Amino acid sequence: MKNIENLNDNANEIIIWLTEMGVDWGLKIIGALIVLIIGLWIIKSLMNRIGKVMEKQDTDPSLRSFLLSMMSITLKILLFISVLTILGVEMTSFIAILGAAGLAVGLALSGTLQNFAGGVMILLFKPFKVGDFIDAQGYMGSVKEIQIFITILTTPDNKTVIIPNGGLSTGALTNYSAQPTRRVDWTFGIAYGDDFDTAKAMISDMIKEDKRIFTDPEPNIFLGAMADSSVNITVRAWLNGADYWDVFFEMNEKFYKNAGKHGLSIPFPQMDVHLDKV
């Protein structure tokens, strides 16, 4: 009889324990599900609001989608860790292992992460955009594409140049398309003995004939230097950036063709040698 009573007592204890465990785990599971559902709803709402703010600020579409995806994944990972903690799962060791793995990956991909950070900075602050003509990292060309890790340029002779964004975001850069207007500079050489006023009048007429050159600010023509083999005339004028190279080359051609008609000589390097009898 005592054995039967002991068995009954043990069975009752097991039932009570199972009931308590069931209630305890049931409450934890219900609480975890509530936190998970509410958390996912909050993350979704937050991402929608951040997306609208980025859209209003005219953030680059590729950067916008990437940042929203990265923030969403990060918040969801934190949410799942919180849910597991509510369920009673020990997360300290897991987080330590995850942190060590993240550090190792970060060290292995330090250069890649630098390029990623540079791409984010370029897309956020927009020192240049697709279509701009830039000079950076020893290369000149039109920006064809801006990616997260690299920027692709097309050079004037139709070469494709791929530049990592890390150095591009931290190094010196010249954007020739940033301003709508540009100043074009010429240096025209005439021979010693040629009439400077004639050359100046001829250049002035050439400038007036070209309607692409602005009259305000007024072009400047002055004697720049008396060099070894020529008298150099410096000319500065303003025009639209898109007309820069066409005007530059056309004016060089006009000067060369008109100089002889006005009695001007195109000088070339020369040296006078004097021989003395001994």
Run of H or E including 24: helix 2-56
- Rounded to 5 degrees, φ, ψ at 178 are -65, -35
What's the token pair of residue 189? 């050489």
Q: What is the pLDDT of residues 74-133, one digit of tens each?
A: 888 888 888 877 777 666 666 666 676 666 656 555 567 788 888 888 887 888 888 899
In the prediction, which pLDDT does 43 show? 87
- Which of 6-10, 148-152, 168-172 comes out lowest in average pLDDT? 6-10
Q: What is the pLDDT of residues 61-82, one digit of tens each?
A: 666 766 777 788 788 888 888 8
**How far, CA to CA in Å, does 133 sit from each of 175, 217, 240?**
6, 24, 14
DSSP 235-263: EEEEEEGGGHHHHHHHHHHHHHHHHGGGT
Run of H or E including 161: strand 160-164
Rounded distance between C-alpha atoms, residue 162 and residue 164, angstroms: 7
Collapsed DSSP state (helix, strand, coil) of residue 174: strand
In the prediction, which pLDDT does 238 show? 96
In the prediction, which pLDDT does 107 show? 55
Q: How confident is the model at residue 203 (pLDDT cuts 50, 70, 90)?
A: very high
Q: Residues of the chain with pLDDT > 70: what percent?
A: 78
Checking 252-261 for CB contacts under 8 A at 24+ apart, the result is: 252/186, 254/206, 255/186, 255/188, 255/202, 255/203, 255/206, 258/202, 258/206, 259/190, 259/199, 259/202
Q: Which residues contact 162 (CB under 8 A, 6 or more apart)?
A: 150, 151, 152, 153
How is domain 2-108 classified at the CATH fold level?
Answer: Helix Hairpins (1.10.287)
Q: What is the pLDDT of residues 5-31, one digit of tens each?
A: 555 555 566 666 556 666 666 677 777
What's the token pair of residue 13? 């204890």
Q: How confident is the model at residue 208 (pLDDT cuts 50, 70, 90)?
A: very high
Find the mean pLDDT for residues 202-217: 94
Q: How confident is the model at residue 255 (pLDDT cuts 50, 70, 90)?
A: very high
Q: Which residues contact 35 (CB under 8 A, 6 or more apart)?
A: 79, 82, 83, 86
Q: Specify the pairing of strand 150-154 against strand 160-164.
A: antiparallel
Q: How confident is the model at residue 278 (pLDDT cuts 50, 70, 90)?
A: low
- Which of 58-72, 141-155, 243-257 comes out lowest in average pLDDT? 58-72
pLDDT higher for 206 or 40?
A: 206
pLDDT higher for 52 or 189?
A: 189
**DSSP 3-state percent helix, strand, coil across the chain (nearest 5):** 55, 20, 25
In the prediction, which pLDDT does 47 show? 85
How is domain 181-262 classified at the CATH fold level?
Answer: Alpha-Beta Plaits (3.30.70)
- Which of 126-135, 144-153, 262-271 comes out lowest in average pLDDT? 262-271
In the prediction, which pLDDT does 162 show? 93
**pLDDT higher than threshold 80 for residue 138:** yes
For all residues of the chain together, what is the average pLDDT? 82
Listed by start position, the domains of the chain span 2-108, 127-175, 181-262
Q: Calculate helix-pair angle for 110-125, 92-108, nearest 10 degrees.
A: 80
**Looking at domain 127-175, which of 2.30.30.60, 1.20.1250.20, 1.10.3720.10, 3.30.300.180 is its CATH number?**
2.30.30.60
Rounded distance between C-alpha atoms, residue 83 and residue 91, angstroms: 11
pTM above 0.85, yes or no: no
